[in-house]
Amino acid sequence: MSNHVTVLEIDGNALQHNLQYFKNKLNPKTKVLVVVKAFGYGSDAAKVAKLLEKDVDYFAVAYTDEGIALRNHGIETPILVLHPQVQNLELIIQHQLEPNLYNFTIFNAFLKLADKKPLLNYPIHLKFNTGLNRIGFWHNDVPKILSQIQDSNHLKIASIFSHLAASDDLTEEEFTNNQINNFAYIAKQFYEHLNYEPMIHILNTSGIVNFPKAQFDMVRLGIGLYGFGNDKKETNQLKNVFNLTSIISQIHLIEPGESVGYNRAFTANKPMKTATIPIGHADGISRKLGNEKYSVLVNNQPAEIIGNVCMDMIMIDVTNIECSEGDQVIIFNSQKMIIAMANASETISYEILTAISQRVKRLLKC
């Protein structure tokens, strides 16, 4: 347990609200996979999974160690590992994780391991590249995959899936519909040649909103669970999950001409009062937020970050704010502040959230 005074509070009620908001958009039989990779988008994957386990059908993580961490916290729900590596396949089996097999290197390695053990109908997932060009089999790989799967009773395809490249951008609607149609054709080939029907899924958060007809058997809810709809209208319907706070460590009175921080990046042109806060770029506060690019809140009043962001500290202007050492400082407590931070950092909300250092204490509140 971290004793760091900087704390990330995770709102469990907001998580449940956001999950239900997206569930309300789905057909009653559509399953929900919740993505808890990257420490639950910077929150706490184990705590989020524990909170939502009874309300979802699957969890997904990026890497094997993330899945193992969930198992070690008692999570029994099926866990899809989205980007496993060959060297981790034994661990995947040991911890009853379900691998995404995305090319013949890892497919053949897992098939060989399954035959050696041997396993019986071990659940695997197959990812197909329909336009994102990141990872995944190609459509013309289907016959070879089918021939190898049909020759073995050691593996069973739990799902076939793909990932949309631009589901949040309606100017790319034609491209997205082509992805969906190509994916449906791939899935049809499996249905025609297997004696069972794997689940199929392609929709992410924005896909749920913009392409609801492509729900298929399951959807994958990621950033939407954490309060962002990739669209202002949708985000306004969601509740903020993240509250990042710290405290004032020290207050300084500085004179005109005095500088603040490394490289003397800020120089006072009048008498000022500054406060030093124990959070810095090692905690996920981008250096781009320094030099009056972003304001935190002290007693509900905005206070600009002045000078360069340090590794462990920031300095803020509290000249016109009544405050004392030990007072709380809000780094962000709303989607609006997180988006403002992302804009000032020239990035997106995903990076702001996942950049929050693991030395920052996490608290789940319901």
Residues belonging to the active site: 37, 262
3-state secondary structure of 152: coil
| Of 94, 64, 101, nearest in space to 79 by CA | 64
Spatial separation of the C-alpha atoms in residues 190 and 193, rounded to whole Å: 5
Helix crossing, 104-116 with 142-150: angle to 10°? 0
Burial letters for 159-178: b for 16+ Cβ neighbours within 10 Å, e otherwise? bbbbbbbbbbeeebeebbee
Spatial separation of the C-alpha atoms in residues 12 and 363, rounded to whole Å: 10
What 3 state SS string does 99-167 have?
EEECCHHHHHHHHHHHHHCCCCCEEEEEEECCCCCCCCECHHHHHHHHHHHHCCCCEEEEEEECCCCCC
Spatial separation of the C-alpha atoms in residues 60 and 156, rounded to whole Å: 18
* Lookup: tokens for 62: 């990026």
Spatial separation of the C-alpha atoms in residues 191 and 291, rounded to whole Å: 58
| Of 31, 7, 85, nearest in space to 218 by CA | 31
Beta bridge partners of 260: 266
